[in-house]
């Protein structure tokens, strides 16, 4: 066999291994747009592609971004923003219109995987006025997606945060707050009946920064050398797993034991508040991306996880919210990440594609 052919086989083998590595991690990145200095939509999607980021979360159906996504093969969580939830809940005609204009008009060129109906709507936060519209909006969008012939392709869910959890310690005793069960139980039931996952925003940073006396930094950063929480036969060395498994336990207590979880946001700020440093953010992100391939003690296996966020966004408040980006607005990476979907692996994959193509063309 010619040397060039052997080289191609080796390179293609490396490429396949790299792509499998990325697929195993099931990682995406959230594309927030609350900045006045961000790249164009086409530049952003090209950055996702060049870095082999195969999943993306959009917080609203921005048509510029959706058009840029056409033909990219990037899987998308498409957000139906909170401001539209009440309107969508008020009638099927509104849900049909929304699905036609923002989903069907882009399908199948854009690989929409989930529709997130609302983000962090909760009876115990400033979004409490929307809570009575949450389930009706979910049902209407689910029906509209089905009527559009996409019921087998797109799952309809909502994204929640940890404020709904009343008890999270130990994780096996996780439960929803008693005063929100009227809100969470119907959501869990809807997801169970439609076989859709719950989207959960999980931030060990906020748990740590709000309670540093009780939660150690290594436990929050995945760097604890020993077991921190022994929960029956399950051992916890990091806070992310404990938080995730407490939500699984809470759903099981409300009849949702079969409902999966997609981690729809997780990240660590690099500035702007206590514990928000470049080093801490790099450590958390590096370890999160590695850990996403492994799963939690309760649910071993890859965890579909979306890192928040693609860019620093200078129009967000308070200050720490401006500093969650993997990239600066000039598209330069903030971190030298060395893990499953790292700067290094992304670059190697791009180079391997180019080199393999060159060698093949010469054979």
| Per-residue pLDDT tens over the stretch 288-342 | 999 999 999 999 999 999 999 999 999 999 999 999 999 999 999 999 864 344 3
DSSP 3-state of 285: helix
**Known catalytic membership, residue 24:** no
pLDDT at position 25 is 58
pLDDT at 359: 27
Tens-digit pLDDT string for the chain (363 aa): 444 443 433 333 433 333 333 345 589 999 999 999 999 999 999 999 988 899 999 999 999 999 999 999 999 999 999 999 999 999 999 999 999 999 999 999 999 999 999 999 999 999 999 999 999 999 999 999 999 999 999 999 999 999 999 999 999 999 999 999 999 999 999 999 999 999 999 999 999 999 999 999 999 999 999 999 999 999 999 999 999 999 999 999 999 999 999 999 999 999 999 999 999 999 999 999 999 999 999 999 999 999 999 999 999 999 999 999 999 999 999 998 643 443 444 332 333 333 333 323 322
What pLDDT, on a 0 to 100 scale, did the predictor assign at position 357? 34
C-alpha–C-alpha distance, residues 72 and 50, integer Å: 11
Q: Give the active site residue among 24, 43, 93, 120.
A: 120
CA pair distance 242, 240, nearest whole angstrom: 5
Our CA angle for 186, 188, 194, nearest 5°, is 100
Token pair listed for 193: 């009946």
Dihedral sign, Cα of residue 39, residue 42, residue 44, residue 46: negative
> For this structure, is 265 an active site residue?
yes
pLDDT computed for residue 94 by the predictor: 98
Radius of gyration (C-alpha) of the chain in whole angstroms:
21
Compute the distance between CA of residue 131 and CA of residue 276 in angstroms, rounded to an integer.
Answer: 32
Residue 23: closest CA among 58, 48, 53, 57: 53
In the set 93, 252, 265, 313, the catalytic residue is 265
Please give the structure tokens belonging to residue 20: 């499998």
CA distance 271 to 233: 38
| Predicted pLDDT at 71 | 97
Would you call the peptide bond into 100 cis, given omega within 30 degrees of 0 as the criterion? no
Report yes or no: 362 and 7 within 8 Å, Cβ to Cβ: no
| Close Cβ partners of 279 (under 8 Å, ≥ 6 residues apart) | none
Q: How many CB atoms lie within 10 A of CB 263?
A: 25
Assess contact for 92 and 143: CB atoms under 8 A: yes
């Amino acid at each position: 066999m010619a040397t060039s052919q052997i080289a191609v086989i080796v390179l293609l083998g490396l490429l396949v291994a790299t792509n499998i590595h990325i697929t195993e991690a099931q990682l995406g990145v959230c594309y927030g747009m609350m900045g006045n200095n961000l790249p164009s939509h086409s530049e952003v999607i090209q950055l996702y592609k060049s870095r082999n980021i195969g999943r993306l979360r959009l917080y609203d159906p921005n048509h510029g971004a959706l058009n840029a996504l056409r033909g990219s093969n990037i899987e998308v969580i498409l957000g139906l923003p909170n401001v539209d939830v009440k309107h969508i809940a008020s009638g099927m005609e509104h849900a049909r219109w929304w699905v036609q204009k923002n989903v069907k008009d882009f399908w199948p060129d854009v690989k929409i995987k989930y529709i997130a109906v609302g983000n962090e709507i909760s009876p115990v936060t400033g979004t409490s006025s929307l809570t009575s519209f949450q389930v009706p909006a979910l049902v209407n969008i689910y029906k509209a997606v089905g009527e559009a012939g996409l019921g087998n392709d797109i799952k309809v869910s909502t994204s929640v945060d940890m404020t709904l959890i009343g008890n999270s310690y130990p994780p096996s005793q996780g439960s929803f707050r008693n005063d929100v069960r009227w809100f969470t139980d119907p959501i869990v039931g809807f997801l169970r009946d439609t076989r859709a996952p719950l989207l959960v925003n999980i931030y060990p940073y906020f748990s740590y920064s709000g309670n540093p006396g009780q939660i150690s930094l290594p436990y929050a950063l995945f760097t604890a050398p020993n077991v921190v929480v022994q929960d029956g036969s399950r051992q916890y060395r990091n806070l992310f797993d404990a938080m995730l498994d407490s939500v699984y336990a809470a759903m099981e207590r409300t009849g949702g034991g079969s409902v999966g979880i997609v981690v729809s946001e997780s990240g660590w700020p690099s500035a702007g508040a206590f514990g928000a440093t470049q080093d801490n953010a790099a450590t958390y992100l590096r370890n999160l991306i590695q850990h996403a391939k492994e799963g939690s003690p309760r649910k071993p296996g890859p965890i579909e996880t979306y890192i928040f966020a693609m860019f620093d966004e200078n129009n967000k408040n308070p200050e720490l919210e401006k500093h969650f980006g993997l990239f600066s607005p000039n598209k330069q990476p903030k971190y030298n990440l060395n893990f499953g979907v790292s700067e290094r692996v992304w670059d190697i994959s791009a180079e391997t594609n180019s080199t393999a193509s060159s060698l093949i063309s010469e054979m």
